[in-house]
Structure 1
């Protein structure tokens, strides 16, 4: 390097010294050198996870009696075999456990006061369900003993739960999970408990839809998670469109900072909607996920689905942005056979047995609000 520089300079000196003209002044510019530190570069990182949820798991007697074994246990695995691939796709999957799995010890029961076999939870866990939702109108059907029995079993098998709690301490424990490099907070609430009063001394057992409390819970998680999910047990049963109360609650939660809302209770699928606030915050609302597994025979109640959305976390220095992509509900259907009730992807079935609804009609129904927004 030194030799390459030295030769040209030496020649230049000789040439200048040989000229009779006065020496030329040097007007060359001195370049300033800036040494960059690592902190001067913003490192942009992205991570994408698929969030999933399924609707009501509601076991009527006609459903669980077909899963009974001669030794007194229950086996639901065969009933979910066809739908298993769909449930394996999400990185984090939640399910609405509508009928409480208090177990045979308390005596199984059906509508209007449900108590289900614990084995249904084991099957869900095998299929990839990571968390069950316990806030619903049937939560107190069989009292505190059924709740405690179910929670004991959840703890025994390592199943996460939200919306139903042992006590105040459990209620105040944040439900935060980490998937890849994304932290996710989950909350769940119900509009009521079918008129059954929460027993004195157990005020924290079920999370109710109290506006002030919900906002407080959301703010408590703010800054601790990248993605905030709320499950709402709301709406009118068997209605395929959200009512005013659902829309108002969704707006309220969006303004509070919630990112994803999954709805339950109508027992039929309702559309997906994206709420965009003036400040740019987006909230994705799945108004109702319908029945995932039940024996109901009203119109559209045999159709449910696996709701999924790709969530991307973009980290740019200290700034974090959340983006949604490909929100959808992949339709599923419950088929009654002689030996049981089977849930399977709807694309394997020509039409719904009850309403004769086709796969394409169901997909169009769930996406109608999103399609409308895209046209606007």
Structure 2
């Protein structure tokens, strides 16, 4: 690869992926009927700057929980003993790489094989999952979750050591292995604009925190302090990513609504949630001053082997941030439903709903493993229409909102 120079002196992974893709515009197939087509402060403070003129707009993208059950990690095991998980992200990698900032909900700890791989209920996942996330183009790993302490402090230390050594450009939010690291605000710079990513969990499944700073938890004082620190550090926008809510609930809980208001009032520009394992509605709330704050209540799972058909339909959240001399506002949002395709080996992957077919749905193992033979493309479309309401367009397989 020829050498490129940016204002930071380094050709970034993101710039390479954007250049390789040529920022192509995607056309989604219709789906209206059957058969339709960081770690420590040094790593967290690392910024990537393009060698292009500062844009007025930046796109934020997030996918939901990477929930690494045994069946997920077995899908990438090779005969020679190595592991590779590029297949999990292959069907959305073009969207991920084209976004200016891409976030992934890494729910299970990437403690690696040395700590013993394990699935539900106490998870520990292969670090090769992180390799695949980096290769797909994700910039931020969201690690504050109820499973963050499944391997104790050793799991957190192992995951952070992995990111620092293997993918130092990845911003890791929500966990820390030192008090100093916990005080660093996860921040990215894109074309001169600084964006903070604040990630919190509702709890850790009853496992006591080994240190008060090990996992970032939802707390009003913490949120206010983090938002203020982000603004003091020059953040023009704050993306809040809470791990919250009630598993499998179709709508947000009162507790989610409480924390959304806290995050909005603290200055979050957009809120994208995870943890319920199912897609929940999109809504726009107001902060105390009447500012509009879009909320993706839950983007559900990105990948898992949970035995419920509703956990097979997650979402890709996208928000367009517009910057001017006054500040930043969210100009538009999109919800793009995704379908986890449970299949043998590297056929295990996640599709955009617009690319899914009745033939694929008929082969999805959720029909037999979950004992739900009514799972189909049309069922997925109807489910999305029910969850997202009238704003969901079955022809484009998206919900679109503009300010």
Give the structure-1-normalised TM-score: 0.81
Q: Alpha-carbon deviations, 1:201-234, whole Å to 9, x = none? A: x221101112222112112223421101111111
Q: Alpha-carbon deviations, 1:129-154, whole Å to 9, x = none? A: 00101100000001111111100011
Other-structure match for 1:349: 356
**Structure 2 CA distance for partners of 1:275 and 1:46, relative to 1, 3 Å:** farther
Given candidates 160, 171, 178, the residue that maps to 2:182 is 171
Other-structure match for 2:75: 66
- Give the Cα–Cα distance (whole angstroms) in 2 for the partners of residues 72 and 367 of structure 1: 43
Given candidates 304, 315, 320, the residue that maps to 2:314 is 304
Other-structure match for 1:52: 61
Q: Alpha-carbon deviations, 1:314-367, whole Å to 9, x = none? A: 12xxx32x2323311211111122325221122222366554464543553454
- Give the Cα–Cα distance (whole angstroms) in 2 for the partners of residues 65 and 261 of structure 1: 33
SS where residue 235 of structure 1 aligns?
Answer: coil
Other-structure match for 1:368: 389
Other-structure match for 1:85: 94
- The reply to whether residue 326 of structure 1 matches residue 332 of structure 2 is yes
**Structure 2 CA distance for partners of 1:365 and 1:179, relative to 1, 3 Å:** farther
Q: Which runs of 5+ in 2 are unaligned?
A: 1-53, 367-374, 393-398
How many pairs does the alignment contain?
324
Q: Alpha-carbon deviations, 1:61-96, whole Å to 9, x = none? A: 111112112332211113332222222231100111
- Give the Cα–Cα distance (whole angstroms) in 1 for the partners of residues 390 and 111 of structure 2: 38
Is the CA contact (8 Å cut-off) linking 1:330 and 1:363 kept in structure 2? no
How big is the alpha-carbon RMSD for the aligned residues of Structure 1 and Structure 2?
Answer: 2.2
Give the structure-2-normalised TM-score: 0.75
Is the CA contact (8 Å cut-off) linking 2:171 and 2:187 kept in structure 1? no
Other-structure match for 2:17: none
Q: Alpha-carbon deviations, 1:241-266, whole Å to 9, x = none? A: 11111011111211121111111110
In our comparison, the structure showing a higher alpha carbon Rg is 1
- Give the Cα–Cα distance (whole angstroms) in 2 for the partners of residues 191 and 218 of structure 1: 18
Structure 1 position 304, deviation (Å): 1.4
SS where residue 217 of structure 2 aligns?
Answer: coil
Other-structure match for 1:3: none
Is the CA contact (8 Å cut-off) linking 1:136 and 1:190 kept in structure 2? yes
- Give the Cα–Cα distance (whole angstroms) in 2 for the partners of residues 221 and 369 of structure 1: 36
